[in-house]
Structure 1
Amino acid sequence: MNSLFPIVDNEFSVPDVFDNFFNRFMWPSEFTSTMPKVDIEDKGSEYVMTADLPGVQKEDIHLSYDNNVLTLAASHNEQKDSQDDQHNYICKERSSSSFCRQFPVTGIQKEGIQAAFKDGVLTITLPKDAQQAQPTNTIEIQ
């Protein structure tokens, strides 16, 4: 069975529940995660992953598939211009951010992977390798 969901993103694990609670309510936003929200859909012959990347430019996205791991990384750097020197910021959190997410996935035709980026949304199509497709084993519950 293919594993498309990162182990570290398990919302039901006890440590993660507490970590998220404290990150959201106890720590300033610079300590919280800036991971993009990702949807993964199984369309039969392919997987389609959609990631929201607001404020990120196409040139700042790095996407790779190596050793059965899909890696999505991006960075966003807001350059200071001469007008920024005139502002007296108390807090400036929007200047830069970066992330890297990895998704273990097997049985993919790596030559057929396609990606498109439009309006801050990255869509990745991962065609399944028909030769590596394995039937699901159904286990009867007694």
Structure 2
Amino acid sequence: MSQITRREPVGSLIDELFSDFFNRTGWTVPLRTAELPAAVRARLDVVDKGDKYAVSVDLPGVRKEDIQVSIDGPRVSITAENKAEREVKNGEKLLHTERFATSYARSFELPVEVTEEGADAAFENGVLRLTLPKRAQVMSKRLAVR
């Protein structure tokens, strides 16, 4: 299997041009904006367990207070934010950082509607786990005409 290397010749030249300036001034070299997406698409797994769906969503570095989940029929929307708070103490100088605030967003539609009754959301070790009960299907009835 061959190894694939991502190559950005123009971006690399610009980085080299400005890195010397930043190194002399003591400032950190900024990341190019192409590397900073507005919102990261959260990765997830969905398992059909018969009467409910089990959803697992990876949200690394996020606190549970910064997660929002909304349900609208079969559509589930998840947003979260990693605020990347840093504490630089008096006398310290941040030399380089690659940890920045990240927003996560994901919206998907399930095969059938889900209900909020009995739904559960738990967050542990960077993984959001949702239990979403399926809404009872209303069966159509045929009426006899008299």
- Secondary structure at the aligned position of 1:59 is classed as helix
Q: Report how far residue 68 of structure 1 moved.
A: 3.6
Counterpart for residue 9 of structure 1: none
Which of 101, 107, 112 aligns to 1:96? It is 101
Q: Distance in 2 between matches of 1:102 and 1:109?
A: 16
How many positions carry a matched residue from both structures? 109
- 5+ residue gaps, structure 2, are 12-33, 141-146
- Secondary structure at the aligned position of 2:65 is classed as helix
Q: Report how far residue 88 of structure 1 moved.
A: 2.4
| Equivalences for residues 49-68 of structure 1 within 5 A | 49-68=55-74
From the two aligned structures, give the one with the greater helix fraction.
Answer: 1
The 1:110–1:81 alpha-carbon spacing in structure 2 relative to 1, beyond 3 Å, is same
Q: Which has the higher contact order (CA 8 A, sep 6+)?
A: 1
- Secondary structure at the aligned position of 1:41 is classed as strand
1:38 paired with 2:44, answer yes
**Which shows bigger deviation, 99-108 or 40-49?**
99-108
| Equivalences for residues 1-142 of structure 1 within 5 A | 26=8, 29-31=35-37, 34-83=40-89, 86-89=93-96, 92-105=97-110, 106-132=112-138
Given that 1:107 and 1:132 are in contact with CA atoms closer than 8 Å, whether structure 2 keeps it comes out as no
In percent, how many aligned pairs have the same letter? 34
Given that 2:45 and 2:56 are in contact with CA atoms closer than 8 Å, whether structure 1 keeps it comes out as yes
Q: Report how far residue 115 of structure 1 moved.
A: 0.8
Q: Which amino acid aligns with 2:93?
A: Q
- 5+ residue gaps, structure 1, are 1-20, 135-142
Give the root-mean-square deviation of aligned CA atoms: 2.8
